[in-house]
Structure 1
Amino acid sequence: MFKRRDKRGTGRVIVEAIYPPGGWGRAINYMYHRLKRLPDPPHRIARGTAAGIFVSFSPFFGLHFILAGVFAWMVRGNVVASIFATFVGNPVSFPFIAAAGMYTGNLVLGQHATVHFNAMMLAFKRASGDMWWNMMSVFNGTEAHWHGLAQFNRDIFLPYLLGGAINGLVVSVAGYALAHRLIDAYQRRRARLLQQKLQARLKIRSGAMVK
């Protein structure tokens, strides 16, 4: 009864994840309208927005929704707003976020600031191989391998984590200021319009009573 009439294939799902049917502009506009209509004070929505943005710069892919909710709860922000804000990290922006995080992290750690894509993929491959080997070693009694994981942790994960935290902090502070300003202006304008409508109704009723 509630199934889609047009079944989406795997290819279509991937394409729509990278580029939504209405475009990223429409998707962002939709998120903004949902965000500003949340029933909470501007500072709480802005805190949640900042939490979601900050988490989006972390390398913990697949956990961004959960972490955003936790961070929003810690700073007493709006949890729903934090989840909406994680869409700052999307298939289009993630390559730039990752590259910026790696660059900043390596710069702070005093390592090579430029990490080539092939080197990053090789580190992922070696780390994945070590994880699989170590899982199997529990059952077959072979010696565990840690070199690939250690290299991945040193060359990829730590720089990304550190650089992402620094970049995420800067962008989330800016996001807080922007979100607070926009949502505060929207709520003030909405309250003013509601007040005007209420006054108009009262005038109509008072006029009817006089007659």
Structure 2
Amino acid sequence: MFKRRKPRSYSQLATQLIYPRGGWRRASQYVMHRIRRLPDQPQRIARGFAAGIFVSFTPLFGFHFMVAALVAWLIRGNIFASLLATFVGNPLTFPFIAVVSLSLGRWMLGVEGKLQPNLIFEEFSRAARELWNNLLAPLTDAPVGWNDFGSFWDGYFLPYAVGGIIPGLVAAAIGHYLTLPLIRAYHKRRARKMADRIARVREQQAPAPSAPPDEASDEGPDKG
């Protein structure tokens, strides 16, 4: 009943992952619209939004949803808002986030080596394949090896994780203080509209005032 008449192809799915239908501006407006309409306290929604932004600066690709929900739960934020806020990490922003976080992390940890932005996600993909192959090695005849994964951990993952803390906290704080007044204003406007609607309904349902009694009937019959 709710399925598409013509299913999307894999190429369309990949294209919409990079550039959603309607553009990124419309997609971001939809996310903010959904966040404003969440049925929760503005403080909890803003905390959840900040949690999702912060997690977007971590190298836990593929686990951002779960980690954002956990962080939102720990700081008593709205979990659904944290899931929506992971939208901050998208194919357009991830290259910038990765370069800033990895460069800062290498500088903080004193890791030497030339940083090649075009190889960052390639290294993550290669490490993920090696990890998956090692996990499946007991079930197959494939050899187990962690040499490449060790260099990936020291040169990419750990610096990315350490370097993403500061810009992640800064972006989360900015997102929190920008969304909190917007959510409060939206909730106040919605409460005011609801109060006006209730007042109009009560006015429509209120009984009409009775007519005053005829003064002549109170004076009795005219005696001439």
- Give me the TM-score of the superposition, normalised by structure 1: 0.87
What is the one-letter code of the residue matched to 2:188?
A: R
What is the one-letter code of the residue matched to 1:26?
A: R
Residue 121 to residue 83, structure 1, CA distance change in 2 (3 Å)? closer
* Structure 1 contact 57–165 (Cα < 8 Å) conserved: yes
Residue 56 to residue 132, structure 1, CA distance change in 2 (3 Å)? closer
* Structure 1 contact 53–85 (Cα < 8 Å) conserved: yes
Query: More displaced, 125-134 or 13-22?
Result: 125-134
Q: Which runs of 5 or more structure 1 residues have no equivalent in the other structure?
A: none
| Distance of 1:125 and 1:200 partners within structure 2 | 60
Q: What is aligned with 1:175?
A: 175
Query: More displaced, 68-77 or 4-13?
Result: 4-13
Residue 183 to residue 114, structure 1, CA distance change in 2 (3 Å)? farther
Query: More displaced, 118-127 or 73-82?
Result: 118-127
Name the SS for the 1:209 alignment partner: coil
What is the one-letter code of the residue matched to 2:12?
A: R
Q: What is aligned with 1:209?
A: 208
| Distance of 1:126 and 1:16 partners within structure 2 | 24
* Structure 2 contact 95–117 (Cα < 8 Å) conserved: no
1:78-130: CA deviation from partner (whole Å, max 9, x where unpaired): 11111011111111111111111111111211234851135546744764575
Alignment of 1:81-160 (within 5 A): 81-112=81-112, 115-117=115-117, 119-120=119-120, 123-124=123-124, 127=127, 131=131, 134=134, 138=138, 144-160=144-160
Residue 184 to residue 166, structure 1, CA distance change in 2 (3 Å)? same
1:27-63: CA deviation from partner (whole Å, max 9, x where unpaired): 1111111111111010000011011111111111111
Q: What is aligned with 1:164?
A: 164
Residue 136 to residue 179, structure 1, CA distance change in 2 (3 Å)? closer
Q: What is aligned with 1:5?
A: 5
Query: More displaced, 186-195 or 12-21?
Result: 186-195
Q: Which runs of 5 or more structure 2 residues have no equivalent in the other structure?
A: 211-224
What is the one-letter code of the residue matched to 1:87?
A: F
* Structure 1 contact 104–163 (Cα < 8 Å) conserved: yes
| Distance of 1:192 and 1:113 partners within structure 2 | 59
* Structure 2 contact 105–160 (Cα < 8 Å) conserved: yes
Name the SS for the 1:210 alignment partner: coil
Q: What is aligned with 2:222?
A: none
Query: More displaced, 108-117 or 125-134?
Result: 125-134
What is the one-letter code of the residue matched to 2:208?
A: M
Q: CA RMSD in A?
A: 2.5
Residue 18 to residue 140, structure 1, CA distance change in 2 (3 Å)? closer
| Distance of 1:60 and 1:195 partners within structure 2 | 45
Query: More displaced, 185-194 or 39-48?
Result: 185-194
Alignment: residue pair count: 209
| Distance of 1:158 and 1:200 partners within structure 2 | 61
Q: What is aligned with 1:14?
A: 14
Name the SS for the 2:164 alignment partner: helix
